Amino acid sequence: DAKTTQPNSMESNEEEPVHLPCNHSTISGTDYIHWYRQLPSQGPEYVIHGLTSNVNNRMASLAIAEDRKSSTLILHRATLRDAAVYYCILRDVGGTSYGKLTFGQGTILTVHP
Amino acid sequence: DTEVTQTPKHLVMGMTNKKSLKCEQHMGHRAMYWYKQKAKKPPELMFVYSYEKLSINESVPSRFSPECPNSSLLNLHLHALQPEDSALYLCASSRTGRNYGYTFGSGTRLTVV
């Protein structure tokens, strides 16, 4: 499985934007870039995913480098509820119908009031 | 219904007990997954079911036995577990195909005594 590299931790202030980086230099052409977050004592929550183009949804934006070797999750205005572990994952679909989602260590985001 | 429901939320079992974890979704997802998560670690994939058939077993010990009786239900049967099997067990589901995210349940916190 192609691997991702994320900073162990990041800090932000409430109502400021947060840019969470992810490196995936061995990404293959069939890998989708997924982001999930996990709040304490909860299961992971889907945030966003993309293949080549930048993506926006109600939770966040995903900026994908042109060579696809890195990506950035953007939270436009952090709130205290955004404090979580954020996982950048390459979903390997290949020839299967389901793919595999293999979690790395993730980034612990702390949001200060 | 956009949820994955896991029961029970907490389970304490002895090493000689037999118990089962249950996972249910009504989103029409045909891929379902079991993950195991130890404290302060990322989730680790255990099993993948696609169209009710076991597609991936990540070399999980036979004391864990998955079952997918229908497209909405996924069970994990537990027998003769060890204290080191204590963890959060997460179920997830997804549409098949390349372009979909996973929906996770909130997990079952298992303690083996």
Question: What are the pLDDT digits (tens) for B43-101?
Answer: 999 999 999 999 999 999 999 999 999 999 999 999 999 999 999 999 999 998 778 89
- State the pLDDT at residue B33: 96
- State the pLDDT at residue A2: 65
Checking if the pLDDT of A65 tops 70, the result is yes
Phi, psi dihedral angles at B16 (to 5 degrees) = -100, 0
CB pairs under 8 A between A and B: 63
d(CA A12, CA A10): 7
Q: What residues of A are in contact with residue B55 (Cβ under 8 Å)? A: 96, 98
Which class for B79: exposed (0-12), middle (13-18), buried (19 or more C-beta within 10 A)? Answer: middle
Q: What percent of chain A has pLDDT over 90?
A: 79
Which candidate from B30, B96, B104 shows the least CB-CB separation from A44?
B104
- State the pLDDT at residue B89: 98
d(CA A102, CA A91): 7
Tokens 């999750």 — which residue?
A73
Which candidate from A42, A98, A103 shows the least CB-CB separation from B106?
A42
SS3 (DSSP) at B85:
helix
In the structure, what pLDDT confidence band is assigned to residue A91 with cuts at 50, 70 and 90?
A: confident
Query: Tens digits of per-residue pLDDT, A9-26?
Result: 999 999 999 999 999 999
In the structure, what pLDDT confidence band is assigned to residue A112 with cuts at 50, 70 and 90?
A: very high
- State the pLDDT at residue A97: 56
Q: Which residue of A has its CA nearest to B5?
A: A43
- State the pLDDT at residue A102: 86
- State the pLDDT at residue A98: 65
Q: Does A46 touch chain B (CB under 8 A)?
A: yes
Q: Which residue of B has its CA nearest to A107?
A: B42
Q: What is the average pLDDT value for chain A, to the nearest integer?
A: 92
d(CA B10, CA A54): 40
Q: Does A30 touch chain B (CB under 8 A)?
A: yes
Cβ distance B101 to A45 less than 8 Å, yes or no, reads no
Q: Which residue of B has its CA nearest to A88?
A: B42
Structural contact between residues A22 and A71, judged by C-beta atoms closer than 8 angstroms: yes
Q: What residues of A are in contact with residue B94 (Cβ under 8 Å)? A: 98-99
Q: Which residue would you say has higher pLDDT here, A90 or B99?
A: A90
Q: How far is CA B28 from CA A104, B95, B103, in A?
A: 28, 8, 12
In the structure, what pLDDT confidence band is assigned to residue A31 with cuts at 50, 70 and 90?
A: confident
- State the pLDDT at residue B97: 78
